[in-house]
């Protein structure tokens, strides 16, 4: 595939890795913000190409990881209602709420369906006027325009049986929270390329300046990630702290204006809870009052449902690179990939799940 | 978050959602091109969750590949 | 062998109170269900798990297997539920090295199923059986209330004769074996997904749904010392490699660049966020045999149309039991794990 294969070239990857090795003089911790980037790092084994000085911290940029337990519980409550068709991206089906996940509710008779796009859920609402169709609108800024478009179009068509359960988060406030932590470990960020394709790069300038941290907007193919790492390491070694754009073939400084207009029309900035991290001010999107009729939380009266995170789960610390998975007492005992307590064990790229996979083949160690 | 896949626009309709067929290699999917109002057949876009996020800039892509080739020339290799 | 404290409790406790879709997904939960509930309850030997059981009777060695078929939609590009029900069982017999003799079939029909559709499925079964040279000799019919089944479920069972001297079983896999696939991977899973509601896309991919018993027979006829055969259905190649590595107490190293995946399958996987190594095939086999025989095995397979795309994709090593690693095209390696259940499309 064009724009894919040429960015997976092994020779170029090795020369980038060589350049990183030649540049680095001391240990640096880089956080790749987006779960899609983590996925590529795991899938292509990119960490093996890096010198030992570079450690990658897998950031919180994955709706699987950060959607709060309360919202999962609300989703489960809505999905269990008779007459509801509950649509979701495949990602969210195995994410546990307080007690169970969407697949469990489905096994008791709920009509839970995987869709590729919120527009598919909208089409289903058109076809099934006899049913309430609810879409689980999770995601970061990247997914917000698609969800906003579905709501705007539902309004245009007067579709009264369509609503969304919103769990939208924004990246910059989360980075601010990570940087403001007194135990901050992150030296530089690889910012999420597709988030920036929508939002542009301007909102990262104050972060880089205030915290003196390099931020490199980075794509998702192996060469993108390695080049992003090289650019970040060069900044660190030279003492610079700038916002740079590695992913220039897609990301413009101003982002995508029509997409931003859609978001602004339908959503407003709100405070949000992040699973494992807690409340972060202004870190999410909620539906504007004008679109309150499409808010599944209101329509089904589930907004008061508040789930609790497992008190044994320390995924928030893991997400920030402050705790290693094996240092958590629940790891591998009460928390496993088939029965996860928290986000970092749910997502197959989550730090805990990755550690768990590899641990099987390590020599047995004293507990 | 945010799987985005590059594809080439085959056609576009004139509905409010600006739906169009986009070819990802030989897999073709109908997606909304509402956020790339200038993009017509032949243009390359990155699609996420059924919506084109933006157009791809071929010159920038070339420039990056070129910069990597130069990197190799001045480094001693891996 | 390293001991995983979580597997020391035997049988492993089931972690869910009820059956979940993932219990049929070919991954870890299905393994839990089989090893935690079925095998202990039925008094079966966990070491004997294979696609077919081999039973000695009257001096002959009979392979015996059964399989239920529930694909949705029932007609998909390149095949339908009827032919799948025949090829699936024929292929499971072939994985024990058996020549198929006869099949049984049981239909669970939902009231209201159009006869026209049923007749078409049965006609497909007949032509598939003819193609395999096997007869459907006995059967059963049940009808259930509307809403109690998804149109039609078909179960087939089969028996076949295992030739003298042939022993094909995971326990024979050993370090030094080569791993061969008979063709490109993931067609069936992608073909079915391309017509599934909510995910549908246009794709030239048609299912690889078809028999592989003649491929297995050709390998045996060539006098090759086949250690094990497995058809990569649910869970795909990655699950087969994990199952064999665990059962044989070996490690397996696969080479990603050597794994044949059609461009159209790879493209579909990109848009849905799937890994083709976990996507189902219904007309492929994976063979394990001594490395020195690998080239001959490839030549034998490639001489048959259904084996034209055969490729050597990896080797068995002495490493930790159950470990499957994949060397990526970038020269790095990653662990190829068993999934929890079925692979789901993702946006993340």
DSSP states along C278-337: GS--SS--EEEEEGGGHHHHHHHHHTSGGGTT-EEEEEEESSSTT-EEEE-TTS-EEE-P
Cβ <8 Å between C266 and B21:
no
Cβ <8 Å between A195 and B68:
no
Residues of A in contact with C320 (CB under 8 A): 360-361
Give the residue from C232, C208, C234, C215 showing the smallest Cα distance to C79.
C208
Q: For residue B5, what is the nearest residue in chain C, using CA coordinates?
A: C271
- Domain presence at residue A132: yes
Residues of A in contact with C347 (CB under 8 A): 89-91, 139, 143
Residue A91 above 50 pLDDT?
A: yes
Domain that holds residue A217: 5-63+171-245
Judge if C137 and C211 occupy the same domain. Answer: no
The residue from C166, C190, C206 where one domain ends is C166
Residue C298 above 90 pLDDT?
A: yes
What pLDDT does residue A317 have? 83
Judge if A101 and A157 occupy the same domain. Answer: yes
Residue C99 above 80 pLDDT?
A: yes
What pLDDT does residue C24 have? 86
The residue from C143, C166, C189 where one domain ends is C166
Residues of C in contact with B49 (CB under 8 A): 347
- Domain presence at residue C7: no
Judge if A217 and A160 occupy the same domain. Answer: no
Residues of B in contact with A251 (CB under 8 A): 54
CATH number at residue C250: 3.90.650.10
Residue C88 backbone dihedrals phi, psi, to 5 degrees = -60, -45
pLDDT digits (tens, 9 = 90+) for C222-270: 999 999 999 999 999 999 999 999 999 999 999 999 999 999 999 999 9
Judge if C212 and C149 occupy the same domain. Answer: no
Judge if C64 and C140 occupy the same domain. Answer: yes
Distance CA C36, CA C13 (A): 6
Q: A188, A306 in Cβ contact below 8 A?
A: no
Judge if C136 and C194 occupy the same domain. Answer: no
Judge if C231 and C130 occupy the same domain. Answer: no
Mean pLDDT, rounded, for C51-69 = 93
**Residue with the two structure tokens 């509930």:** C37
Burial class, A236, CB count within 10 angstroms (exposed 0-12 / middle 13-18 / buried 19+): buried
Annotated domain spans of chain B: 5-74
Percentage of chain A beyond pLDDT 70 is 98
**Residue with the two structure tokens 């999934």:** C339
Judge if C114 and C221 occupy the same domain. Answer: no
- Domain presence at residue A306: no
Judge if A259 and A159 occupy the same domain. Answer: yes
User: Could you say which of C264, C347, C348 has the minimum Cβ distance to residue B27?
Assistant: C264
Distance (Å) from the C-alpha of residue B40 to the closest C-alpha of chain A? 16
Residue C39 above 50 pLDDT?
A: yes
- Domain presence at residue C82: yes
pLDDT digits (tens, 9 = 90+) for C146-185: 999 989 999 999 999 999 999 999 999 999 999 999 999 9
Give the residue from A144, A156, A184, A153 showing the smallest Cα distance to A269.
A144
Q: What mean pLDDT is reported for chain A?
A: 92
Q: For residue A60, what is the nearest residue in chain B, using CA coordinates?
A: B1
Percentage of chain A beyond pLDDT 90 is 69
Residues of A in contact with B38 (CB under 8 A): none
Distance (Å) from the C-alpha of residue A239 to the closest C-alpha of chain C? 31
Q: Is C6 on the interface with A (CB under 8 A)?
A: yes
Predicted confidence band at A311 (pLDDT cuts at 50, 70, 90)?
A: confident
pLDDT digits (tens, 9 = 90+) for C191-200: 999 998 778 8
Residue C215 above 70 pLDDT?
A: yes
Residue C279 above 60 pLDDT?
A: yes
CATH number at residue A271: 3.40.50.11740
Per the structure, how many domains does chain C have?
2
Judge if A23 and A53 occupy the same domain. Answer: yes
Cβ <8 Å between C344 and A10:
no
How far separated are the first and last CA of chain A, in Å rounded?
48
CATH number at residue A39: 3.40.50.11750
Judge if C147 and C211 occupy the same domain. Answer: no
**Residue with the two structure tokens 């995170």:** A309
Residues of A in contact with C275 (CB under 8 A): 43
Q: Is A106 on the interface with C (CB under 8 A)?
A: yes
pLDDT digits (tens, 9 = 90+) for A72-90: 999 999 999 999 999 999 8
What pLDDT does residue C6 have? 31
Residue B19 above 50 pLDDT?
A: yes
Judge if A35 and A16 occupy the same domain. Answer: yes
- Domain presence at residue A196: yes
- Domain presence at residue A285: yes
User: Could you say which of A44, A91, A124 has the minimum Cβ distance to residue C347?
Assistant: A91
What pLDDT does residue B73 have? 62
- Domain presence at residue A291: yes
Mean pLDDT, rounded, for A39-65 = 89
pLDDT digits (tens, 9 = 90+) for C305-317: 999 999 999 999 9
The residue from A227, A245, A263 where one domain ends is A245
Beta pairing partners, C157: C66, C104
Q: Take residue A165 and report the two structure tokens written for it.
A: 């359960």
The larger pLDDT score, comparing residue A183 to residue C292, is at C292
Cβ <8 Å between C347 and B47:
no
Give the residue from A271, A345, A282 showing the smallest Cα distance to A309.
A345
Cβ <8 Å between A113 and C337:
no
- Domain presence at residue A264: yes
Per the structure, how many domains does chain A have?
3
CATH number at residue C67: 3.30.1330.10
Distance CA A84, CA A133 (A): 6
Judge if C204 and C143 occupy the same domain. Answer: no
User: Could you say which of C205, C267, C348 has the minimum Cβ distance to residue B24?
Assistant: C267
Predicted confidence band at A29 (pLDDT cuts at 50, 70, 90)?
A: very high
Domain that holds residue C279: 170-335
Distance (Å) from the C-alpha of residue A289 to the closest C-alpha of chain B? 23
Distance CA C284, CA C300 (A): 15
What pLDDT does residue A367 have? 35
Predicted confidence band at C13 (pLDDT cuts at 50, 70, 90)?
A: very low
Distance CA A44, CA A7 (A): 12
Judge if A163 and A89 occupy the same domain. Answer: yes
Q: Is A44 on the interface with C (CB under 8 A)?
A: yes
Residues of A in contact with B16 (CB under 8 A): 153, 156
Residues of B in contact with C270 (CB under 8 A): 5, 24-25, 27
Q: C86, C128 in Cβ contact below 8 A?
A: yes
Dihedral sign of CA atoms C75, C77, C81, C83 in order: positive
The residue from A245, A267, A282 where one domain ends is A245
Residue A324 above 70 pLDDT?
A: yes
Q: Is A94 on the interface with C (CB under 8 A)?
A: yes
- Domain presence at residue C33: no
Residues of C in contact with A364 (CB under 8 A): 2-3
- Domain presence at residue A308: no
Q: Choose the mutation target among C184, C194, C267, C332 for the interface with B, i.e. most B CBs under 10 Å.
A: C267
Q: Write out the E strands in chain B.
A: 5-12, 19-24, 27-32, 44-48, 51-55
Judge if A164 and A192 occupy the same domain. Answer: no
Q: Is C148 on the interface with A (CB under 8 A)?
A: no
Predicted confidence band at B52 (pLDDT cuts at 50, 70, 90)?
A: very high
Judge if A107 and A187 occupy the same domain. Answer: no
Least confident among A120-124, C6-10, C294-298: C6-10
What pLDDT does residue A278 have? 85
Cβ <8 Å between A119 and B17:
yes
- Domain presence at residue C268: yes
Cβ <8 Å between A116 and C199:
yes
Distance (Å) from the C-alpha of residue A367 to the closest C-alpha of chain B? 35
- The upper half-sphere exposure of residue C20, i.e. CA atoms within 13 Å in the direction of its Cβ, equals 26
Fold annotation for B5-74? SH3 type barrels. (2.30.30)
What pLDDT does residue A362 have? 66
Judge if C180 and C287 occupy the same domain. Answer: yes
- Domain presence at residue A367: no
Judge if A161 and A260 occupy the same domain. Answer: yes
The larger pLDDT score, comparing residue C30 to residue A252, is at A252
């Amino acid at each position: 595939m064009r724009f894919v294969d040429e960015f997976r070239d092994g020779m170029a990857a090795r020369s980038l890795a060589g350049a990183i090795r030649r540049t680095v003089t001391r240990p640096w911790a880089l956080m790749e913000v987006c779960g899609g980037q983590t996925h590529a790092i795991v899938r292509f084994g990119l960490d093996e190409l890096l010198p030992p000085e570079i450690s990658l911290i897998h950031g919180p940029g994955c709706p699987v990881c950060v959607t709060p337990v309360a919202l999962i519980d609300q989703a489960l409550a809505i999905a269990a209602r008779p007459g509801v068709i509950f649509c979701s991206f495949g990602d969210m089906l195995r994410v546990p709420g307080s007690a169970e996940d969407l697949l469990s509710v489905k096994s008791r008779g709920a009509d839970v369906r995987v869709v590729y796009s919120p527009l598919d859920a909208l089409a289903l609402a058109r076809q099934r006027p006899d049913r309430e169709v609810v879409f689980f609108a999770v995601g970061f800024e990247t997914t917000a325009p698609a969800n906003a478009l579905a709501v705007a179009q539902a309004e245009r068509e007067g579709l009264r049986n369509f609503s969304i359960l919103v769990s939208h988060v924004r990246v910059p406030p989360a980075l601010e929270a990570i940087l403001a932590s007194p135990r901050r470990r992150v030296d530089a960020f690889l910012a999420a390329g597709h988030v920036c394709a929508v939002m542009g790069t301007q909102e990262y300038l104050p972060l880089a300046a205030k915290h003196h941290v390099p931020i490199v907007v980075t794509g998702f193919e192996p060469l993108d990630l390695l080049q992003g790492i090289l650019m970040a390491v060069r900044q660190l070694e030279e003492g610079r702290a700038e916002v740079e754009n590695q992913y220039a073939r897609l990301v413009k400084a101003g982002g995508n204006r029509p997409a931003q207009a859609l978001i602004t029309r339908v959503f407003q900035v709100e405070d949000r809870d992040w699973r494992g991290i807690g409340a972060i001010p202004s870190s999410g999107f909620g539906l504007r009052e004008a679109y309150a009729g499409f808010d599944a939380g209101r329509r089904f009266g589930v907004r008061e449902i508040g789930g609790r995170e497992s008190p044994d789960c320390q995924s928030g610390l893991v997400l920030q690179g402050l705790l290693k998975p094996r240092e958590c007492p629940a790891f591998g005992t009460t928390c496993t990939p088939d029965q996860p307590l928290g986000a970092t064990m749910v997502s197959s790229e989550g730090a805990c799940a990755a550690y768990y996979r590899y641990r099987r083949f390590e020599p047995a160690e004293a507990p | 978050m945010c799987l985005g896949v590059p594809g080439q626009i085959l056609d576009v309709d004139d509905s409010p959602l600006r739906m169009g067929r986009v070819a990802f290699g030989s897999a073709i999917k109908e997606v909304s091109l509402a956020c790339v109002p200038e993009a017509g057949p032949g243009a390359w876009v990155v699609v996420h969750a059924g919506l084109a996020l933006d157009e791809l800039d071929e010159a920038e892509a070339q420039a990056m590949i070129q910069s990597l080739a130069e990197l190799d020339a001045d480094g001693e290799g891996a | 062998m390293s001991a995983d404290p979580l597997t020391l409790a035997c049988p492993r406790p089931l972690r869910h109170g009820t059956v979940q879709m993932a219990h049929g997904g070919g991954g870890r939960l299905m393994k839990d269900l089989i090893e935690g509930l079925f095998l202990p309850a039925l008094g079966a030997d966990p070491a004997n798990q294979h696609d077919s059981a081999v039973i000695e009777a009257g001096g002959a060695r009979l392979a015996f297997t059964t399989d239920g078929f529930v694909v949705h939609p029932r007609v998909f590009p390149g095949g339908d539920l009827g032919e799948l029900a025949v090829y699936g069982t024929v292929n499971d017999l072939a994985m024990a090295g058996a020549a198929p003799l006869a099949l049984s079939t049981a239909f669970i029909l939902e009231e209201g199923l159009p006869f026209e559709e049923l007749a078409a499925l049965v006609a497909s079964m007949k032509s598939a059986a003819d193609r395999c040279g096997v007869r459907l000799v006995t059967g059963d019919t049940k009808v259930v209330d509307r809403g109690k089944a998804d149109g039609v479920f078909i179960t087939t069972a089969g028996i076949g004769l295992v030739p003298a001297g042939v022993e094909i079983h995971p326990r024979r896999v050993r370090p030094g074996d080569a791993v061969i696939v008979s063709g490109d991977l993931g067609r069936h899973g992608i073909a079915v997904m391309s017509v599934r509601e909510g995910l549908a896309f246009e794709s030239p991919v048609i299912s690889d749904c078809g028999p592989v018993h003649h491929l297995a027979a050709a390998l045996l006829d060539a006098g090759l010392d086949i250690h094990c055969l497995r058809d990569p259905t649910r869970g795909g190649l990655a699950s087969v490699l994990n199952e064999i590595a665990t059962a044989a107490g070996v490690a397996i190293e696969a080479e990603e660049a050597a794994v044949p995946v059609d461009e159209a399958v790879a493209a579909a996987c990109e848009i849905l966020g799937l890994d083709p190594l976990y996507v189902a095939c219904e007309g492929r086999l994976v063979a394990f045999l001594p490395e020195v025989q690998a080239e001959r095995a490839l030549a034998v397979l490639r001489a048959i149309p259904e084996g034209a795309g055969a490729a050597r994709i990896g080797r068995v090593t002495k490493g930790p039991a159950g470990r499957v690693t994949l060397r990526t095209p970038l020269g790095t390696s990653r662990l190829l794990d068993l999934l929890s259940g079925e692979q789901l499309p993702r946006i993340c």
